Amino acid sequence: MLENKKIQEIITYIHKKELSIKEVVQYYLNRIKKINPSLNAIILQKDEKKIISEAEEKDKLKDKSKPLFGLPIAIKDLSDVVGIETTYGFPEYKNNFPKQNSFFVDLLIKNGAIIIGKTNSAELGVGGHTINRLFGPTSNVYDLNKSAAGSSGGASTAVAAGLLPFADGTDQMGSCRGPAAYSNTYGFRPTPGLIASSIAGHNSKLPLLTTPGCFSKNPEDMSIMLDAIVGKNPSDPYSFNLDGRFKETLIKDKDLSNIKIGWLSNMNNKYNIERKILDMCEDSLKKLNNENIIIENIKPDFNTDDLWNSWTALRSKSIYNDTINMGIKDIDLMTYQAIWEYKKGSVINFENIELALSQKKSCLHQINKIFENFDLLALPSAQIFPFDKQIQYPTKINNIELDTYHRWLEVFILSSLLELPTITVPVGFNKNNLPMGMQIIGRKGDDLRVIAFAKKYEEIFNYSNITPKY
């Protein structure tokens, strides 16, 4: 009934009374029943009778003008929804019921969405792969034995499989961008502050490393969701408004020749990335070049060691602080990855933070110099193709041993540390039918341009027309 329909088409059906909200919601609930058991993407769900009742109540309303009116969504199990547990996939939080919604959840509800449940996450949000001890791993939508990446793998998989029309995520070290690459979807990490979030317990000396983000099959769908959840919130001093709307921002064909993209590849051989991933990205860039977009291969004079050292210091200190604020009783019950971050963060002192911030400042100067010559930058959205979903993290790339549990996520920290809006766009499938993506990176605050470009990209490639066979 609604297979491969864009969100605007579904909204139009509802407004014209060609479909009821109940019918729309029931369609998605039926797909969840049929497909989710093999994917494990949605791990907590409201009672179906309550969901249907909410849909019926919305059908009775005369005013159906809210932008997300009647559309169902499940929230990543790191964000709060009153009436549903927030477990973080961590056994100690199995029955943790929050007393208030996350800010963007309030906006989703205000704008008409129906919250139906929660999507799976990496345990405590740490690790880059959606697996935890409460619910187990989420399967890759194109190979049930492979990883969906993470930590927002439940969300990306649900969107790719058509269990949800769109989904939220959070992104610190690629948690929206990696899962999008592994599911042939679009995943967006905005400039921190564009989507307001609670900063309770945040150390003001540390930059914002994590931001809410989102997933969709195409950037037009994403634009509708973004317009409903972005903007300044008085409870978040980092939040801000944009001068424009995502739904309205476009790049016209005649303006393509004015766009210049810098291809960072493997950062001048400093990043360990599977060769086929680079080839797939470059094939997509060649096609963009054929559309009159200027593509330039650059070997950036960029200190990736400073980038890595700054990021790992600030990240571990941030996770350490979060762990303390959560009041976890026994640190040794956490995952290896979370314990690794906690222990590293516990010895990070004022001088270490000052050094990390100085390194960040230096890296920001370097990237701004690069942006003097380019509108956008491009990097792969993963360093390795989807791997066995039962392992915690890959230990080798190109037969080279990795020195930390998260070195395979290094490709994400440029945007994360320097607060650059970034979207993963699909680049196709390898010989094993495993999907891959590429990061399109904009200047800080240039979120509208990034999404506008993604719209044009989808118009050229039409990757949203490729769907898994369910």
Provide the token pair at 113.
């969405």
Distance CA 345, CA 340 (A): 8
User: What are the distances in angstroms from CA 119 to CA 6, 135, 208, 330, 335?
Assistant: 21, 10, 23, 26, 20
Q: Is the pLDDT of residue 203 over 90?
A: no
Distance CA 50, CA 153 (A): 26
Q: What is the pLDDT of residues 23-74, one digit of tens each?
A: 999 999 999 999 999 999 999 999 999 999 999 999 999 888 999 999 999 9
Average pLDDT score over residue span 239-252: 96
Tally Cβ neighbours within 10 Å of residue 354: 11
Distance CA 179, CA 322 (A): 23
Do residues 135 and 40 make contact, with C-beta atoms less than 8 angstroms apart? Answer: yes
Q: Assess whether the previous peptide bond of 53 is cis (omega < 30° from 0).
A: no
Average pLDDT score over residue span 152-174: 98
Q: What is the pLDDT of residues 384-428, one digit of tens each?
A: 999 999 999 999 999 999 999 999 999 999 999 999 999 999 999
Distance CA 35, CA 28 (A): 10
In the chain, where the domains are located: 18-465
User: What are the distances in angstroms from CA 313 to CA 105, 203, 324, 348?
Assistant: 31, 14, 17, 7
Q: What is the pLDDT of residues 346-382, one digit of tens each?
A: 999 999 999 999 999 999 999 999 999 999 999 999 9
Distance CA 320, CA 185 (A): 32
Phi-psi region of 325 (alpha: psi -120 to 50; beta: other; left: phi over 0): alpha
Do residues 216 and 185 make contact, with C-beta atoms less than 8 angstroms apart? Answer: yes
Distance CA 255, CA 439 (A): 21
Check residue 200 and give its pLDDT: 67
Q: What are phi and psi of 261, to 5 degrees?
A: -115, 130
Percentage of the chain with pLDDT > 90? Answer: 96
Tally Cβ neighbours within 10 Å of residue 394: 19
Check residue 64 and give its pLDDT: 87
Check residue 295 and give its pLDDT: 98
In sequence order, what DSSP letters do the residues of 30-73 get, joined into one string? HHHHHHHHHH--EEEE--HHHHHHHHHHHHH-S---STTTT-EE
Nearest Cα to Cα of residue 211 among 108, 329, 76: 76
Q: Is the pLDDT of residue 202 over 80?
A: no
Do residues 85 and 97 make contact, with C-beta atoms less than 8 angstroms apart? Answer: yes
Provide the token pair at 450.
């990034």
In 366-432, the DSSP E strands lie at 376-380, 396-397, 400-401, 422-429
Break the chain down into helix, strand, coil percent, rounded to 5. 40, 15, 45
What pairs with residue 396 in β-bridges? 401
Check residue 4 and give its pLDDT: 86
Burial group, residue 52, by CB count within 10 angstroms (0-12, 13-18, 19+): middle
Tally Cβ neighbours within 10 Å of residue 118: 25
Percentage of the chain with pLDDT > 70? Answer: 100
* Per-residue confidence band for 199, with pLDDT thresholds at 50, 70 and 90: confident
Q: What is the pLDDT of residues 297-317, one digit of tens each?
A: 999 889 999 999 999 999 999
Provide the token pair at 40.
């494990």
Average pLDDT score over residue span 311-340: 96
Q: What is the pLDDT of residues 118-157, one digit of tens each?
A: 999 999 999 999 999 999 999 999 999 999 999 999 999 9
For tokens 């680049």, the residue is: 427
Burial group, residue 165, by CB count within 10 angstroms (0-12, 13-18, 19+): buried
Tally Cβ neighbours within 10 Å of residue 388: 11
Q: Is the pLDDT of residue 201 over 80?
A: no
Nearest Cα to Cα of residue 447 among 422, 464, 418: 422
Distance CA 460, CA 444 (A): 26
Q: Does domain 18-465 have CATH number 3.30.70.580?
A: no
For tokens 């769908």, the residue is: 221
Amino acid at 59: D
Distance CA 292, CA 70 (A): 40
Q: What is the pLDDT of residues 91-109, one digit of tens each?
A: 999 999 999 999 999 999 9
Average pLDDT, the chain: 97
Check residue 146 and give its pLDDT: 98
